[in-house]
Amino acid sequence: MRSEDGGPFNISEMIFHHTGDAHELDFQPLFTIPLPHWEPVHIGSLVVDLSPTKHVVFLILAAVLTFLLLKLASIGVARARREGRAPRGFAGFMEMFVLWVRQDMAIANIGHESGARYAPLVMTFFFFILICNILGLMPWGASPTGNLAVTGALAILAFLVIEIGGMLKLGFKGYMGTIFPKIPGMDGAMGLVMSVALAPIEILSKFVKPIALAIRLFGNMLAGHFVILSLFGIVFMFGSIEYFRWGIGTVTAAVVLGVMALELFVAFLQAYVFALLSAVFIGLMQHEH
């Protein structure tokens, strides 16, 4: 295998080619589909290139798949309901899955009165991120969640929901209490000084939470792909060695299989962690006093 500029095989170029965004859909060695370049949009002084890239396509694909998966489940559940029996098979499994996310992740952490209102967000986080993660493990697939822009955007959404939800629930005075905490047992001037002194830490913690969400998801997905691609790279790097290449190739393929299985687990785990932590943060904010 040669690198694209015709030089010798370059493993880091291969890795970045596969994990990075691109203006084409890569189905090598069969074909590639070029994606259109759109004129950048000017918003004030900001120049935004909204051209659909590889990750945009996979984002939309993930959204469509998530919708179809849940829609099929809901059709199956509705049919089972009409026939007066419990849903079976795929619908039953998905119903259990959806209810688990709704009850044990959203409502258990946010609380009974407002949990139902935030449950759709948490459920969408979970299923959308799960599908995004799994898409990266498919042949010719890519994980949009392995891109910091995507996880950052999702984390910003979570941040907005956490903070705005808190403001709506607590009111202005209550919300300011989450920035200037009231220290138990400290009144008067000393309490005020401590509140103001702690405010930077409180503000920092508000921002650290979504940043941690974004970096954790992005880092886990990207690192998984790096590991798999690096191991695959071994095959190409040693492909020119006589005799030994068969052994190297076999061992590498076995290791990659194991890592793939691990990545499948990580795909579930990271979707779970992102959705669960969003629910926990929303719940923490709702119950702040």
Nearest residue to 180 (alpha-carbon basis) of 203, 162, 206: 203
Show the site string, 189-228: x = touches other proteins by CB under 8 A, - = not: -----------------------------x---x------
Among residues 130, 134, 135, 150, the one that binds other proteins under rule CB under 8 A? 150
177 in Cβ contact with 170 (< 8 Å) = yes
What's the CA gap between 221 and 131, in Å, rounded? 12
Q: How far is the CB of 173 from other proteins (least distance, A)?
A: 30
Using the contact rule CB under 8 A, the part of the chain among 117-125, 201-209, 247-255, 256-264 near other proteins is 117-125
Token pair recorded at residue 178: 């989450």
60 or 208: CB nearest other proteins? 60
Concatenating the DSSP letter of every residue in 104-160 gives IIIIHHH-HHHHHHHHHHHHHHHHHHHHHHHHTTSTT---GGGSHHHHHHHHHHHHH
Q: Does 107 bind other proteins (CB under 8 A)?
A: no
Token pair recorded at residue 222: 């990207």
96 or 168: CB nearest other proteins? 96
Element of type H or E holding 20: none
Token pair recorded at residue 102: 């709704």
Maximum pairwise Cα distance, the chain: 81
Opening angle at CA 251, ends 247 and 255, nearest 5:
170
102 or 209: CB nearest other proteins? 102
Among residues 70, 192, 194, 248, the one that binds other proteins under rule CB under 8 A? 70
Show the site string, 29-68: x = touches other proteins by CB under 8 A, - = not: -----------------x-xxxxxx-xx--xx--x--xx-
> Phi-psi category of 73—alpha, beta or left, where left has phi over 0 and alpha has psi -120 to 50?
alpha
Residues 130 to 149 in contact with other proteins, rule: CB under 8 A: 144, 146-149
Residues 6 or more apart from 148 whose CB is under 8 A from it?
Answer: 214, 215, 218
Q: How far is the CB of 182 from other proteins (least distance, A)?
A: 35
Q: How far is the CB of 20 from other proteins (least distance, A)?
A: 5
17 or 206: CB nearest other proteins? 17
Q: Does 22 bind other proteins (CB under 8 A)?
A: yes
Q: Does 128 bind other proteins (CB under 8 A)?
A: yes
Nearest residue to 18 (alpha-carbon basis) of 137, 151, 131, 130: 137
Q: How far is the CB of 22 from other proteins (least distance, A)?
A: 6
Contacting positions for other proteins (CB under 8 A):
12-13, 15-16, 19-23, 46, 48-53, 55-56, 59-60, 63, 66-67, 70-71, 73-74, 77-78, 81, 95, 98-99, 102, 119-121, 123-124, 128, 144, 146-150, 152-154, 156-157, 218, 222
